[in-house]
Amino acid sequence: MKKSVALVIETSNEYARGILRGILKYQDEHDHWQIDLQEHERGAPPPRWLKKYQGRGIIARIETEEIARSIRASNLPAVDVSAARKLTGIPWVETDDTLISGLALNHFASRGLRNVAFCGEINFNWARWRRDAFVSQATEQGMTVHSFDLTAGMQDLNHPQTRARLLNWLKQLPEPCGLMAAYDSLARRLLQYCTIIQRPVPNSIAIVGVDNDPILCRMANPPLSSIIPDAEGAGYQAAALLESMMNQKKVEVDCILLPPLGIAVRRSSDTLSIDDEEIEVAARFILDEATKGINVSDVLNKTHLTRRALELRFRKHLGLTPHEFIVAARMSHAELLLRETSLTLQQIALRCGIESAEYLSTAFKKHAGMPPGQYRQLHYLKK
């Protein structure tokens, strides 16, 4: 007989839907769960049927005291997939917010940005952890860092006072600046506000969100860059934990934090800010032409530098050699094609300026830490 498992997880945002996809993947592989799920929005009351639920276990986003009370009263094995920590004493699975912020900062640094900023709703643990990690790591790297804390009374971004404060803050950010928003819908709103105050994105303010919501990111103008959290991995790990608990196995782990899967670079952060005109010209040439099979000699021809000077000044400003920068640009394009198309590996190689699928596979594994096929399996947007 299949085990009945309740999912108290909203269906209204990309991160939560990713968790659900991970749970369904676990179910597909093991085929002994009967899942009970009621559609609801984030923060909604728990479903009424949960009070008398006769299933075997629960996976929940425990973000309110009301949901916590319902889970506690059920006396069923439960796993939390929220950072709110409203119910202690049960395992919880989340994404690693420190690494998420670090990925955004590394992206800004790779574009030569030394002024950075963060905006998020700090009444949520995960947003506060992202802000703290962002500020701490930016300070350690010698960057100038700014932050805007959306408090509990400022969650309505349409409220005139909140809107005015955000517009004023954006006006005062130095130029150029890399801005990380705690999640995609906030990033999209900030992008709209930059248009209102005539701060061009990405050249004046480069913006990165979190969650990689395909609809929000593609609908943004310009399209929004976004960190890709391993939401599916969180759902899968939560399901595996719950299975052990339902089988009365001792669960040693209290918390599992999953690293992000990468960053989807789109136009909103596709900028360069390098205090060296020769290197900025060379780097822009690489970003524009890397997929056309260029090499370091082609880059040299765009400058008045010797090869040695080019290498040294590239390392000084971007932390990479020109060759490494070319490879990184190609691999970034390969990531995009793996995520968002069904092209073969050979077709992707050719579109990245690489002659063979074998060479692409080797370079991609070195870049991403996994083969292209595995990356596609994790990321591919099924149309």
Say which CATH number the domain at 137 has.
3.40.50.2300
Quick one: how far is CA 266 from the chain centroid? 13
- The verdict on 121 and 242 lying in the same domain is no
- The verdict on 361 and 297 lying in the same domain is yes
Cα(124)–Cα(373) distance, integer angstroms: 35
C-alpha pair distances (Å), 4 with each of 55, 62, 316:
5, 19, 58
- The verdict on 89 and 101 lying in the same domain is no
pTM: 0.84
234 phi and psi, to 5 degrees? -65, -45
**No. of H helices and E strands in the chain?**
15, 12
- The verdict on 89 and 65 lying in the same domain is yes
Cα(100)–Cα(31) distance, integer angstroms: 33
- The verdict on 290 and 364 lying in the same domain is yes
- The verdict on 342 and 320 lying in the same domain is yes
- The verdict on 328 and 209 lying in the same domain is no
Do 299 and 282 form a contact (C-beta atoms < 8 A)? Answer: yes
Query: Which residue shows structure tokens 């050699």?
Result: 321
- The verdict on 68 and 116 lying in the same domain is no
Q: Provide the domain count of the chain.
A: 3
Whether the CA torsion 317, 323, 329, 334 is positive or negative: it is: negative
- The verdict on 225 and 235 lying in the same domain is no
pLDDT means over runs of 10, the chain (383 residues): 90 92 92 86 82 91 92 93 90 95 94 95 93 97 95 77 94 97 96 96 97 93 95 95 89 88 92 89 92 94 94 90 94 90 94 94 91 84 43
Q: Are strands 262-264 and 225-228 parallel, antiparallel or unpaired?
A: antiparallel
The CATH number covering residue 314 comes to 1.10.10.60
Cα(352)–Cα(369) distance, integer angstroms: 19
Predicted local distance difference test score (pLDDT) of residue 380: 60
- The verdict on 202 and 154 lying in the same domain is yes
- The verdict on 351 and 290 lying in the same domain is yes
Cα(100)–Cα(262) distance, integer angstroms: 9
Do 216 and 188 form a contact (C-beta atoms < 8 A)? Answer: yes
**DSSP string of 43-70?**
TPPPPGGGGG--SSEEEE---SHHHHHH
Please give the residue range of the domain that contains residue 375.
277-379
- The verdict on 130 and 151 lying in the same domain is yes
Beta-strand ranges (E) seen in the chain are 3-8, 33-37, 57-60, 78-80, 92-95, 115-121, 144-150, 177-181, 205-210, 225-228, 255-258, 262-264
Question: Looking at 213, 239, 269, which one is the last position of a domain?
Answer: 269
3-state secondary structure of 332: helix
